[in-house]
Amino acid sequence: MKVYLYDTTLRDGAQAEGISYTVSDKLKIARKLIAFGIDYLEGGWPGANPKDLEFFQDAKKLDFNKTKLAAFGSTRHPRLKVKDDPNLLNLIKSEAPVVTVFGKSWDLHVESALATTLENNLLMVYETVAFLKEVGREVVFDAEHFFDGFKNNPEYALKVIEQAARAGADFIVLCDTNGGSLPKEIRAGVEAALKIHPRIGIHTHNDSELAVANSLIAVEAGAVMVQGTINGYGERCGNANLCSVIPNLILKMGVEVNCQDNLKNLTRLSRYVAEIANLHPNPYQPYTGQSAFTHKGGVHASALLKDKGTYEHIPPELVGNHRKVSISDQAGVSNLLFNSENLGLSEEEVKTYGKELVAAIKAMEHQGYQFEGAEASLELLVRRVTGKLSEPFKIDNSKLIIEIKEDGRVLSEAVVKVRVGDTTIHTASDGNGPVNALDNALRKALLEIYPNLSELKLTDYKVRVLNEKAGTEAVVRVLIESSAGEKSINTVGVSTNIIEASLKALTDSLVYFLINNNEGTVS
C-alpha cells in the first residue's frame, strides 16, 4: 500500500500562535521538505495576503524534484461565478500545479457560517472543482468539518463529496477540523467515503490528542493521503504531527511512502523547522525529541546494557536521533557504566567509585542540583570524586557592589581575588548586572595566564526557583550555557543566594573549558 504525504506546515502550521514565517523562512522550509521527499507541499493561500503571493512567485525558482507544490483556497463565493471569483483567479495565477480547495460539508456551517442554502453549497463545490480541472490543475478537495457533518447529517456530508467526485477531484480529503472525533468515527467516515471515491485522504487536528492516531486509523481503513505538519504545528492544539505519522507508517504499519529512504533525516528536519519557526523543540516529542530515547532509571540502564530493545520501541538511529542515559537521583551504577566513555571512566573506575559517585549525585540532586542539562558540571563532579581533577584556579574571595543611583541607574561592580599556582590576582570589573560583573572580573583576572579563555562565550543564563513558598529565602538553581566554537558547555549551580549559585555555575564553565584545553595544574 502506498500513502501520499501532504505537508501544510507553511499554511496550516503558520496558524499556530507564536509562529510568523517570513517569505525567506517559508522558502528555507520548502527546500528542506523537498529534499526530504514530501509528496505535496502546500505553500499558502495566494490572495489571502501579500506574503503568500510573493512566496508563490519566488517558489518558481525552486527545483521541486518529485514534490508537487499546492496552492490553497476555498470554493467559489456563494454569490459569484467561478470565473469572477478573485480567490479562484489567484489560485490559477499562482501557477501551482496542484490546487487544494476546501468546501463546507457540515450543514450547520453551510447555513450559519456561509449563510447560503444547502443546494447552493453543492453547486459551489461542483463548479469550483470542475473549473480548476478545466484549466488543467490537479485538484485536492478538502471536505471541511466532514466528521462533524457526517455525525450530524451523514446524507448531506456524503452528497458534498459526491459533487467533488463528479467534478473530477483527484483526491477527496476528509477533515476533522475541530479535532473532536474518535478513531471509530474516523474509520466509519473513511469507509463511507471510499464508496464514493477511491482516493480518500485525511486531515486531523489535535484538540483531543488524537490527530496522529486518527490519521493512522484512516490509513488502516483505506485512506491514501495524510495531511499534517512538521512538529504538529497548527491552530489551537495543532495538526497531525508528520514527525510521528511518517515513522509510524513506515516502521509500524509497513506502508510505502516516497520519503522512506530519508527517514534518518527526520530528527534534523524537525529541529530545523523549529529553529526557523523560532520555537524551542519539544524535548518530549516522540521519535525526534531530545528525550525520546533518554533513559533515567537505573533499572532501565541496566537492561539497556544487555539489550537495547528492552526499553526502546525502535533503534533511535532509524529516525536520526540518538540514545542518552542520564545521570540523576534515579540513577544506579549501570547509568555510570553506560556513560563511562563520555565521563572518562574506565570499567574498573566505575566499579571502584561507582557507589560513591551515585551517592554524591543523589545528595547533590537532593539539594536541588540537576545534571541532566548540565553535563559539564557532572563531568567535573566525577573528576573531583575520583581525584582526577587538577583545578586550574581557585577563588579566594569575591565581593559585589551594587549601587542604585538617584536617576534609577543600577551599577554593578565585582571584586575577585583568584589564585593560580603561587600567583594571586586581585582585580575588579563592572558589568550589566551582578552576574555579568562577576563573569567579567573572573575573565579579567584569568586572561593574562589563560589567553585562550577569550574563546569562551556565555550564551544562555536560566534561573529557576525550587521552593517558591520560601519567598526570598528560596533555593535557586542557575543553569549556564557557554560556547567555544561549536562546542556547548552546560553547567549548574545551586544556593539560597542567586549570586553564589551563579558563581558556582560560572566557575564550573571556566574550569571545564580550561581543563579540556590542557590549561592549569593547580591541586
Which set of grid coordinates corresponds to residue 30?
A: 520548502
Looking at residue 298, its pLDDT comes to 60
Residue 394 contacts by C-beta under 8 Å, 6 or more apart in sequence?
A: 418, 419, 522
Q: How far is residue 343 from each of residues 155, 484, 515, measured CA to CA in Å?
A: 65, 19, 14
Q: pLDDT of 375-393, one tens digit each?
A: 889 888 888 888 888 889 9
Confidence (pTM): 0.72
Q: Which CATH number fits domain 393-449: 3.30.67, 1.25.40, 3.30.300, 3.30.160?
A: 3.30.160
Average of per-residue pLDDT across 335-349: 66
Q: How far apart are CA 55 and CA 462, in angstroms?
A: 37
* Fold observed for domain 4-277: TIM Barrel (3.20.20)
Give residue 287's region: left, alpha or beta (phi > 0; psi -120 to 50): left
Looking at residue 488, its pLDDT comes to 84
Q: pLDDT of 6-34, one tens digit each?
A: 999 999 999 999 999 999 999 999 999 99
Average of per-residue pLDDT across 441-456: 92
Average of per-residue pLDDT across 452-481: 84
Which residues face 70 on adjacent strands? 42, 98
Lowest mean pLDDT among 356-370, 408-422, 449-463: 356-370
A 10 A CB-CB count for 322 gives 12
Looking at residue 522, its pLDDT comes to 38
Q: pLDDT of 244-280, one tens digit each?
A: 999 999 999 999 999 999 999 999 999 899 988 988 8
Q: Which residue has the higher pLDDT, 422 or 158?
A: 158
Q: List the one residue out of 369, 521, 392 whose CA is nearest residue 445.
A: 392
Average of per-residue pLDDT across 236-244: 98
Q: pLDDT of 298-339, one tens digit each?
A: 666 566 556 667 778 999 999 998 776 655 545 555 666 555
Which set of grid coordinates corresponds to residue 72?
A: 490553497
Q: Which residue has the higher pLDDT, 473 or 428?
A: 428
Average of per-residue pLDDT across 395-403: 91
Instruction: Return the SS3 of 447.
Output: coil
Q: Which residue has the higher pLDDT, 341 or 454?
A: 454
What band does 473 get if pLDDT is binned at 50, 70 and 90?
confident
Looking at residue 84, its pLDDT comes to 96
Q: pLDDT of 143-201, one tens digit each?
A: 999 999 999 999 999 999 999 999 999 999 999 999 999 999 999 999 999 999 999 99
What band does 348 get if pLDDT is binned at 50, 70 and 90?
confident
Output the DSSP codes for 132-151: HHHTT-EEEEEEETHHHHHH
Q: How far apart are CA 444 and CA 359, in angstroms?
A: 37
Looking at residue 335, its pLDDT comes to 62
Looking at residue 467, its pLDDT comes to 74
Nearest 5 degrees, angle CA 494-CA 496-CA 501?
35
Domain ranges of the chain: 4-277, 294-367, 393-449
% of the chain with per-residue pLDDT over 90: 67
Residue 343 has pLDDT above 70, yes or no: no
Q: List the one residue out of 211, 218, 274, 209 whose CA is nearest residue 239.
A: 211
Looking at residue 31, its pLDDT comes to 96
Asked whether 161 and 172 are in contact (CB, 8 A), the reply is yes
Residue 132 has pLDDT above 70, yes or no: yes
State the average pLDDT for the chain.
Answer: 90
Lowest mean pLDDT among 39-53, 339-353, 399-413, 469-483: 339-353
Lowest mean pLDDT among 157-166, 214-223, 420-429: 420-429
Average of per-residue pLDDT across 113-136: 97
